[in-house]
């Protein structure tokens, strides 16, 4: 049986949601972050060669990398329509957002998170200087890129309610973590009504709610 | 007909290689970077909503995001075995590296590139300080992550010659750009013999060589 190793406030929440949406049998193991450093416990870091969340294990297999896990789980569930078929009219839209989730959204968000960590970790006397340099870099390299993504999301979500088209798909599940992060970090505002409506739609989804219950946290992303 | 908009020294080289490997008809448009800033020309930035490379166009469709383009093109070529089928023994390995290419390798490489840009752009008097802070961050956050990926690549490539297993697959095509970048930036060294042998194997591939001819550059990544 497949075991999901779920690290609290991490990208692995998406796999929890996916498994709940599929209604399949799986074992869930929960891991807490260090309360001071927010790091994953050492036990988690040795689960897979990358040391990162999410990880699933099944027999001898230990698989990391969110999108690879999503495709692997969907391979085992050909009855599911979470991955639109090649001839589905929503296929291209699905492919774009499914891949943009890690390839663009998470990329921008992790860069911004690294900048924040850098600002907090430098000695106090150079904090102003570093904040200035990284703040400028953020204005020039991070914010415009995120805004382009959000504008495209606004446009696509104006046409159909889900990232994958008319129905909930794995593209929406993949996008849930970066979209919550983008809202939490102030990138998504009242200027992005369709993004906010999509987040609300996600929150109302029964399988998302079941996943949240098993997760047991107020938010799927860390609020710091 | 599909048009590939190929920006020199960019991730779009992979799509050029993919199309050559498939031996399909396509139109190729080449775009040069600004010789001083290395930026894409304005004309390129308006091709797709994200403004980034690669982009393909086909009728009304303008599609960005490397991995989405690869899946889209492969959807149109069901006869190709570049994407191992669900029941193929190499399927999981394929999925991991296909997704790790953007989700992990490019993520780390782009972060390192951003650090380098920051060091070069700050006024001379604060360059030493910024180099110190970002150098430390690179040692702590970037290099260990890249080394874990490369060690895993060493292990997997010791078992089978390609990232996707016994045969060339879209995982190898996806990995070509980050692997060349990782070598060019000094992450891949003599300590990674299987990675070096894989790069050599790629260079000997006939379709890669045809793509290089159409590209017309010495290297697929910018050497700065």
- Say whether A15 sits in a helix, a strand or coil: helix
Please state the rounded mean pLDDT for residues A35-54: 93
Q: How far apart are CA A133 and CA A100, in angstroms?
A: 28
CATH architecture of A91-205: Up-down Bundle (1.20)
Contact between chains at B72 and A65 (C-beta distance less than 8 A) = no
- Say whether A45 sits in a helix, a strand or coil: helix
Contact between chains at B50 and A86 (C-beta distance less than 8 A) = no
Task: Provide the pLDDT for residue A224.
Answer: 67
Residue A55 has which token pair?
């990880």
Task: Provide the pLDDT for residue A37.
Answer: 87
Domain A3-80: give its CATH superfamily: Glutaredoxin (3.40.30.10)
- What's the angle, vertex CA B83, arms to CA B71 and CA B204, rounded to 5? 105
Task: Provide the pLDDT for residue B24.
Answer: 97
- Contact indicator for B18, B4 with CB cutoff of 8 Å: no
Q: How far apart are CA A34 and CA B141, in angstroms?
A: 18
State the ipTM, two decimals. 0.96
Q: How far apart are CA A22 and CA A60, in angstroms?
A: 23
A121 pLDDT tier (thresholds 50, 70, 90): confident
Q: How far apart are CA A34 and CA A108, in angstroms?
A: 25
- DSSP H or E segment with residue A13: helix A13-22
Residue A24 has which token pair?
């399949």
Residue A163 has which token pair?
């990232």
Task: Provide the pLDDT for residue B37.
Answer: 87
Distance from CA of A67 to the nearest CA of B (A): 6
pLDDT > 80? residue A15 = yes
Sign for the CA dihedral angle at A78, A79, A83, A87 comes to: positive
**A65 touches B at CB < 8 Å:** yes
Q: How far apart are CA B134 and CA B119, in angstroms?
A: 8
Task: Provide the pLDDT for residue A126.
Answer: 87
Reported pTM: 0.97
Q: Give the residue range(s) of CATH 1.20.1050.10 domains in chain A.
A: 91-205
Q: Give the residue range(s) of CATH 3.40.30.10 domains in chain B.
A: 3-80
**Three-state secondary structure of chain B:** CCEEEEECCCCCHHHHHHHHHHCCCCEEEEECCCCCCCCCCHHHHCCCCCCCCCEEEECCEEEECHHHHHHHHHHCCCCCCCCCCCCCCCHHHHHHHHHHHHHHHHHHHHHHHHHHHHHHHCCHHHHHHHHHHHHHHHHHHHHHHHHHHHHHHHHHHHHCCECCECCCCHHHHHHHHHHHHHHHCCCCCCCCHHHHHHHHHHHHCHHHHHHHHHHCCCCCCCCC
- The owner of tokens 């839209």 is A93
Q: What is the DSSP letter of A7?
A: E
Which one of A95, A112, A149, A150 would you mutate to disrupt binding with B, by most B Cβ within 10 Å of its Cβ?
Answer: A95
Contact between chains at A99 and B141 (C-beta distance less than 8 A) = no
Ranges under pLDDT 50 in chain B: none
**A137 touches B at CB < 8 Å:** yes
């Amino acid at each position: 049986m497949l075991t999901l190793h779920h690290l609290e406030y991490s990208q692995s929440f998406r796999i929890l949601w996916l498994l709940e949406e599929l209604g399949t049998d799986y074992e869930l193991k929960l891991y807490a972050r260090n309360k001071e450093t927010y790091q994953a416990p050492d036990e988690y870091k040795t689960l897979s060669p990358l040391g990162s969340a999410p990880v699933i294990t099944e027999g001898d297999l230990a698989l990391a990398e969110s999108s690879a896990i999503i495709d692997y789980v969907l391979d085992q569930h050909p009855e599911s329509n979470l991955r639109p078929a090649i001839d589905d009219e929503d296929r291209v839209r699905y492919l774009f957002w499914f891949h943009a989730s890690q390839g663009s959204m998470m990329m921008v968000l992790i860069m911004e998170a690294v900048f924040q960590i850098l600002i907090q970790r430098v000695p106090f006397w150079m904090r102003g200087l570093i904040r200035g340099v990284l703040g400028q870099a953020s204005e020039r390299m991070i914010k415009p890129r995120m805004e382009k993504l959000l504008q495209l999301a606004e446009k696509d979500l104006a046409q159909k309610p889900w990232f994958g088209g008319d129905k909930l798909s794995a593209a929406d599940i993949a996008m849930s973590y970066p979209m919550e992060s983008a809202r939490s970090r102030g990138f998504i505002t009242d200027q992005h009504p369709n993004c906010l409506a999509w987040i609300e739609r996600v929150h109302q989804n029964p399988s998302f709610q079941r996943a949240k219950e098993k997760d047991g946290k107020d938010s799927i992303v860390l609020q710091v």
